[in-house]
Structure 1
Amino acid sequence: MNAKPVKTVVLALDGLDPELFLSWRNNLPNLSTLASEGIFYRIKSTIPSMTFPAWSTFLTGVNSGRHGIFDFTERLEGRLRVRFINSTRRRYPGFLRLASDQGLCVGSVGLPTTYPPEKLTGFQISGFDTPLPSKADRSYVHPPELAEKIEREIGGYYFGNFNESRIGRNWHSKVLAQLMEGIERKTRLVHLLLREYPLDLLLLHVGETDTVGHHFWSFYDENSPRYVPTRDHALKRAIQRVYEKTDDLVGEVLSLTQPENVIVVSDHGMGGTSDRTLYLNRFLAENELLSFQEEDPRARIIGALKRAGMKWMPYRWQQQVFRLAKGGFAASIESLQRFSGIDWGKTLAYSEELNYFPSIYLNLKGREPRGIVNPGDADRVISELSNTLLGWKDHESGTNVVRKVHRREDLYNGPETIHAPDLILELNDCSGYSYALGRSTTPLGR
């Protein structure tokens, strides 16, 4: 084991919720010690608090208008098409790069938006956006020879992929076991890396804290409208167990590295989802801002093939097909799902209806391929649309659906701002839970 202490350790605990931490802090001794002996407070994430832009903002210290990462995808200029992005899309250097260029030995493990890996002075292991699992493609790590050591000594790097298309009997129990094993494998990986590299700076990302919240909140929160009663105590305690296992990892890392500086950070918190779902394009249509037409037959065919593949194709094959096709075929599917079925000649504004990014674009002439809104009218249309959105009522609760409407210039500054949606929405909670987002025939439903 390398005896050299690591001066600075950054622990990137994805989706770690401060309220859950506070409620369980007596069972999280290592994180609790850091909080009590250091500084603990809540900070604002990006708006919206999404993985790619949030971690990119953390890395660079600048907003999406400067680093250019707004989503998992980006729009192709002048086309109704998207493509999946990776770290090459980031237009601003991160602190890992800057530290490495100053001669520090830098190591980074698992942070999203770090594929392809940078040639740091130490090493970089990419995150879940790696296009192929490690056994199929070892380009996820720099230097390349480190991949063989990881494979030989700990059985390869674990990306935490689960087959979410077939959630059946014992699925959650198996996933929980995989999450716990993933954290354990990270512990073994840190031992290996510290033995190989005399680091000055280590960044370690833990994605299990995010995954467990998304998939097990319904077992944990008895007040949630999506609550699933269970007698399986392990499922009810799954989130806490993963937090406790992560705390063990934190303690092991701190013991091994003896750092002078420790930073624990997350990209967002965690919470439950309402059983109410918003359909932004239906709302726009009801307010005569968007018009539908018959869906492109290709979208129906591809959708049917996708559903059949998800149902019948072995999961390993699904991974290979999706990741290999990610630059082309998968992007075509995504594009058809976002943009098919809209009559562009009669549409002033539209949403891509992403379930994690409530936002709206103008169908702007000269920017959109079939735009009809004159640039000189854009400001007026945006003002009228903003007022319409702020007046949207949930008739069950009587509350406003939309809390704030941001023009992109209000949130972002820099040359990449032109790639952001025209309007970004902040939604109110529905009885304490986030509205879901989707595509359907009514503006608001279940």
Structure 2
Amino acid sequence: MVRVIVIGLDGATWDLIKPWADKGELPTFKKLMENGSWGHLESTIPPVTCPAWVSMLTGKNPGKLGIYYFRQPDWDSLTMRFVNIKWDEYNPLWKILNSEGYATTIVNVPTVTPDPTGYLGAYVQCPIMGSENVDQFAYPEYVRHLLKELDYERLVNGNPHTLGWDEYLNEVYTLVNKKIKLASKLFKKGGWELFFFTIFYTDQVMHFFWHYMDKNHPRHIPDDKYKDAILNFFKFIDTSIEEFLYGLREDDILFLVSDHGHGPMHWEINYNVYFNNKGYLKFKNKYRRLFKLNFYKALAKLYRSPMGKLVDKIGILNKLKETKRREIDTSIHAIDFIDWDNTLAYNPAAGTIFINLKGREKYGVVSIDEYHTVRSEIINLLKELKDPRTNVNIVSTIWVKEDVYSGKYFDIMPDILIEPVGETFYGSYGLDSAKPFKLLSDPTPLTYSTHTRRGIFLAYGPGIKKGHKIENAKIYDIAPTILHIFGLPIPNDMDGRVLMEIFEEDSEFAKRRPKYVDPGYREKKQEDENLKKAIRNLKLKGKL
């Protein structure tokens, strides 16, 4: 019986992998490319871990999910808060497979937090957004025992600035090695039809170490000992993938995927400052917020200094440390420094722009009648935005929401989406920016690369074309393609298509045409089966 194995590499890009594979640095990737079908996997807009993994597991665009970024404005508290991912509503891939009797093992996939109720298989939730309750975080009991056995850790406790660059890398390798060991044990245990495991730290290592590798990066440090940090990490991943290949059965199909790609971030652009300069947004409480920003920066620097251990013993500063995250959420990353009564448009996060619309935003001022006029004005402003140092246009691509999103949550999605020149040269963090009042600035010290829309896709196994480069694959296509491989009907509310071009012409996958059904098909099927069972029981009792 066919099984599907998906290995996710957060942020992985062919821009790095292919040249390294061609040079023989990544022999497993090279083997898979030569013996499988591969190509770019177009991500969501914006290409962010959340919602990209959610779209991959549901086959749906963010307009059907109601999420466009990890954190979105909470108008009641005037802060940026983590989004609520409504897996019960989305009907994700594992629920569809479970309803058909197929067991799933899902390990460490960002944003993915299955519920044990009715779950068929095993899982370990997303380390970032997963439950603090270990019984909810991992399922079933034997998985929780494995976590204890391996001394499993969710995340590296720190970053290169708090730990030091060497120590950070050591921590990453130690943690990822534990996650791979856990995944390997669950992989070998079997009892699943879909196995989905993701390595998150490919993304983090690229964010932190890109400038050491990239000679064209403004922050490049030549001949540094970390210049091969990213390559070495991918070599480690290459070897780990090879170990999974040894465990494949004859009928198994392997996918390699990423949620987005990566590219160099040269500068940080704050569109809110630009809108303020042009009279479309107004700041307030500027100096109070700057004071808080500088206070917490100084506190963080103190904790990283040789005095840090002594500071820990001082009661009041220790108390500040305990409440630091809550305070940062409610002050540094606040949205109450904007005068909403005098703001027409704003950038909450990444490349997303909202019109401050009456009836949608809590403090909206733009009427429905004014909406298209204001949106057009903002688009024209974005087209005019230039880097004052080079006179180069900063924004290269602009979309309006109706060209990107559809679905239940369309109305609450961003009104304008933007991509900078070079895809990644100018990164933006909107209301999450640590530099809220500067138009252009150096990247934050830990973000030397950011995301492109070009993730990776690779399929390998029986019935898959060999050495075949594909085009136009989208992140929404993964879920329907997996359902098709299992011979299952595809809910017609999925936005993706089956990637028929990856299948050999004489394979059963190519001969079988995709079948689409209404989203409620499985519930209706279950109701019909229950009715038939009830009728049989009544007949046996002589009541019919």
TM range (shorter): 0.7 to 0.9
**Alpha-carbon distance, 1:81 to partner:** 4.0
Question: Which residue of structure 1 aligns with residue 144 of structure 2?
Answer: 147
Partners of 1:183 and 1:370 in 2: how far apart? 44
Larger displacement relative to structure 2 (387-396 or 288-297) = 288-297
For the 8 Å contact 1:9–1:202, the answer to whether it is kept is yes
For the 8 Å contact 1:183–1:245, the answer to whether it is kept is no
Q: Is it true that 1:358 corresponds to 2:358 in the alignment?
A: no
Q: Is it true that 1:394 corresponds to 2:393 in the alignment?
A: no
Partners of 1:239 and 1:164 in 2: how far apart? 15
For residue 439 of structure 2, the aligned residue among 427, 432, 443 is 443
**Alpha-carbon distance, 1:145 to partner:** 4.5
Partners of 1:348 and 1:358 in 2: how far apart? 17
Question: Which residue of structure 1 aligns with residue 158 of structure 2?
Answer: 163
Question: Which residue of structure 2 aligns with residue 212 of structure 1?
Answer: 205
**Alpha-carbon distance, 1:288 to partner:** 1.1
Partners of 1:367 and 1:60 in 2: how far apart? 26
Partners of 1:198 and 1:137 in 2: how far apart? 22
Q: Is it true that 1:247 corresponds to 2:238 in the alignment?
A: yes
Q: Structure 2 vs 1, CA of residues 277 and 67 (structure 1 numbering), >3 Å: closer, same or farther?
A: closer
Q: Structure 2 vs 1, CA of residues 298 and 240 (structure 1 numbering), >3 Å: closer, same or farther?
A: closer
Question: Which residue of structure 2 aligns with residue 42 of structure 1?
Answer: 40
**Alpha-carbon distance, 1:278 to partner:** 1.2
For the 8 Å contact 1:125–1:142, the answer to whether it is kept is yes
For the 8 Å contact 1:182–1:208, the answer to whether it is kept is no
Q: Structure 2 vs 1, CA of residues 68 and 144 (structure 1 numbering), >3 Å: closer, same or farther?
A: farther
Partners of 1:219 and 1:254 in 2: how far apart? 32
The 5 Å alignment of 1:342-381 reads 342-352=338-348, 354=349, 357-381=350-374
Question: Which residue of structure 2 aligns with residue 179 of structure 1?
Answer: 172
> What TM-score, normalized by structure 1, do the two folds share?
0.84
Question: Which residue of structure 1 aligns with residue 454 of structure 2?
Answer: none
Local SS of the residue matching 1:271:
strand
Q: Is it true that 1:428 corresponds to 2:421 in the alignment?
A: yes
Local SS of the residue matching 1:139:
helix
For the 8 Å contact 2:78–2:335, the answer to whether it is kept is yes
Partners of 2:131 and 2:116 in 1: how far apart? 17
Question: Which residue of structure 1 aligns with residue 534 of structure 2?
Answer: none
For the 8 Å contact 1:402–1:426, the answer to whether it is kept is yes
Partners of 1:372 and 1:209 in 2: how far apart? 42
Partners of 2:244 and 2:324 in 1: how far apart? 37
Partners of 1:82 and 1:42 in 2: how far apart? 32
**Alpha-carbon distance, 1:124 to partner:** 1.2
Q: Structure 2 vs 1, CA of residues 293 and 325 (structure 1 numbering), >3 Å: closer, same or farther?
A: closer
Q: Is it true that 1:272 corresponds to 2:272 in the alignment?
A: no
Question: Which residue of structure 1 aligns with residue 30 of structure 2?
Answer: 32
Partners of 1:242 and 1:256 in 2: how far apart? 22
Local SS of the residue matching 2:198:
strand
For the 8 Å contact 1:82–1:331, the answer to whether it is kept is no
Partners of 2:290 and 2:111 in 1: how far apart? 29
Give, as a single letter, the amino acid of the residue that structure 2 aligns with 1:12: G
**Alpha-carbon distance, 1:33 to partner:** 1.5
For the 8 Å contact 1:123–1:143, the answer to whether it is kept is yes
Q: Is it true that 1:304 corresponds to 2:302 in the alignment?
A: no
Question: Which residue of structure 2 aligns with residue 59 of structure 1?
Answer: 57
Segments of 5+ residues of structure 1 without an aligned counterpart are: none
Q: Structure 2 vs 1, CA of residues 86 and 322 (structure 1 numbering), >3 Å: closer, same or farther?
A: farther
Partners of 1:183 and 1:9 in 2: how far apart? 19
Partners of 2:134 and 2:322 in 1: how far apart? 11
Q: Structure 2 vs 1, CA of residues 12 and 322 (structure 1 numbering), >3 Å: closer, same or farther?
A: farther
Give, as a single letter, the amino acid of the residue that structure 2 aligns with 1:280: Y
Runs of 4+ in structure 1 over 6 Å off: 321-326
Same amino acid, percent of matched pairs: 25
Partners of 2:427 and 2:264 in 1: how far apart? 9
Larger displacement relative to structure 2 (302-311 or 46-55) = 302-311
For the 8 Å contact 2:63–2:410, the answer to whether it is kept is yes
**Alpha-carbon distance, 1:396 to partner:** 2.5
Q: 1:160-205: CA deviations, max 9, x gaps?
A: 324138446xx22122222222333233213321354422111110
Q: Structure 2 vs 1, CA of residues 248 and 330 (structure 1 numbering), >3 Å: closer, same or farther?
A: farther
Question: Which residue of structure 2 aligns with residue 85 of structure 1?
Answer: 83
**Alpha-carbon distance, 1:308 to partner:** 2.6
> How many equivalent residue pairs?
425
Q: Is it true that 1:282 corresponds to 2:273 in the alignment?
A: yes
Q: Structure 2 vs 1, CA of residues 433 and 384 (structure 1 numbering), >3 Å: closer, same or farther?
A: closer
Q: Structure 2 vs 1, CA of residues 166 and 398 (structure 1 numbering), >3 Å: closer, same or farther?
A: closer
For the 8 Å contact 1:360–1:424, the answer to whether it is kept is yes
Question: Which residue of structure 2 aligns with residue 122 of structure 1?
Answer: 121
Question: Which residue of structure 1 aligns with residue 491 of structure 2?
Answer: none
Q: Structure 2 vs 1, CA of residues 204 and 65 (structure 1 numbering), >3 Å: closer, same or farther?
A: same
Local SS of the residue matching 1:11:
strand
**Alpha-carbon distance, 1:7 to partner:** 1.6
Give, as a single letter, the amino acid of the residue that structure 1 aligns with 2:186: L
Q: Is it true that 1:410 corresponds to 2:378 in the alignment?
A: no
Q: Is it true that 1:262 corresponds to 2:254 in the alignment?
A: yes
> What TM-score, normalized by structure 2, do the two folds share?
0.70
Partners of 1:322 and 1:142 in 2: how far apart? 33
Question: Which residue of structure 2 aligns with residue 228 of structure 1?
Answer: 221
For the 8 Å contact 2:73–2:335, the answer to whether it is kept is no
Partners of 2:88 and 2:383 in 1: how far apart? 33
Give, as a single letter, the amino acid of the residue that structure 1 aligns with 2:345: A
Q: Is it true that 1:73 corresponds to 2:65 in the alignment?
A: no
Local SS of the residue matching 1:270:
strand
Rg: which structure is higher?
A: 2
Q: Structure 2 vs 1, CA of residues 200 and 20 (structure 1 numbering), >3 Å: closer, same or farther?
A: same
For the 8 Å contact 2:113–2:126, the answer to whether it is kept is yes
Partners of 2:114 and 2:299 in 1: how far apart? 31
Local SS of the residue matching 2:7:
strand
Q: Structure 2 vs 1, CA of residues 91 and 324 (structure 1 numbering), >3 Å: closer, same or farther?
A: farther
For the 8 Å contact 2:41–2:258, the answer to whether it is kept is no
